[in-house]
């Protein structure tokens, strides 16, 4: 962006400083996509979506769960499953996404090994992915 361009509003003023429009062009509209793309390229997006779904459903379940030794079972089986509207659905979505996230994570790991994502130039991305994998495995 040129420095001589006068901003006409708050959004334009922010865009001059943060270059959001240029970033969207580079990442979204002018991003090069290979011709041999397949579903394995989408594993990172699927993992991110599942993780966000896990956070949202976990937060919804956390509002009704009682972490007491005498009340925990009833809070899940009675309160969440029967009294909360669609509580059974939120609980099952949470459980299925928690299991599916590991399946997709293994596929993503094997895809990265196959395509050589650990090689020079991308090793920091590989190490950060392994740290996330270890954190998820330790938490489970």
Q: 84 and 65, same structural domain?
A: yes
Q: 129 and 91, same structural domain?
A: yes
Q: 119 and 57, same structural domain?
A: yes
What global pTM score does this model have?
0.68
Closest by CA to 139, choosing from 56, 42, 51, 44, is 51
Q: 83 and 114, same structural domain?
A: yes
Q: 95 and 69, same structural domain?
A: yes
More confident residue, 29 or 135: 135
- Helix 43-62 × helix 87-115 angle, to 10°: 150
pLDDT reported for residue 3: 55
Arithmetic mean of pLDDT, 29-47: 81
Q: 117 and 73, same structural domain?
A: yes
- What CATH number is attached to the domain comprising 54? 1.20.810.10
pLDDT reported for residue 50: 95
pLDDT reported for residue 58: 94
Q: 40 and 28, same structural domain?
A: no
Closest by CA to 101, choosing from 56, 133, 57, 59, is 133
- Domain membership of residue 7 as a residue range: 1-32
Closest by CA to 84, choosing from 67, 96, 66, is 66
Q: In angstroms, what CA-CA distances link 48 with 87, 88, 132, 134?
A: 23, 23, 12, 16
Arithmetic mean of pLDDT, 25-51: 82
Q: 105 and 42, same structural domain?
A: yes
State pLDDT tens for residues 68-114: 999 999 989 889 999 989 999 999 999 999 999 999 999 999 988 88
pLDDT exceeds cutoff 80 at 65: yes
């Amino acid at each position: 962006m040129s420095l001589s361009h006068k901003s006409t509003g708050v959004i334009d003023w922010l865009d001059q400083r943060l270059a959001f429009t240029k970033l969207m062009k580079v990442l979204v509209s002018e991003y090069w996509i290979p011709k041999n793309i397949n579903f394995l390229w989408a594993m990172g997006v699927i993992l991110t979506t599942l993780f966000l779904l896990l956070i949202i459903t976990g937060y919804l379940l956390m509002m009704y769960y009682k972490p007491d030794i005498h009340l925990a079972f009833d809070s899940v089986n009675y309160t969440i499953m029967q009294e909360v509207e669609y509580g059974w659905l939120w609980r099952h979505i949470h459980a299925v996404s928690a299991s599916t996230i590991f399946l997709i994570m293994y596929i993503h790991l094997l895809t990265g090994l196959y395509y050589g994502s650990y090689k020079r130039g991308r090793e920091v991305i590989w190490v950060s992915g392994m740290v996330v994998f270890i954190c998820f495995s330790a938490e489970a």
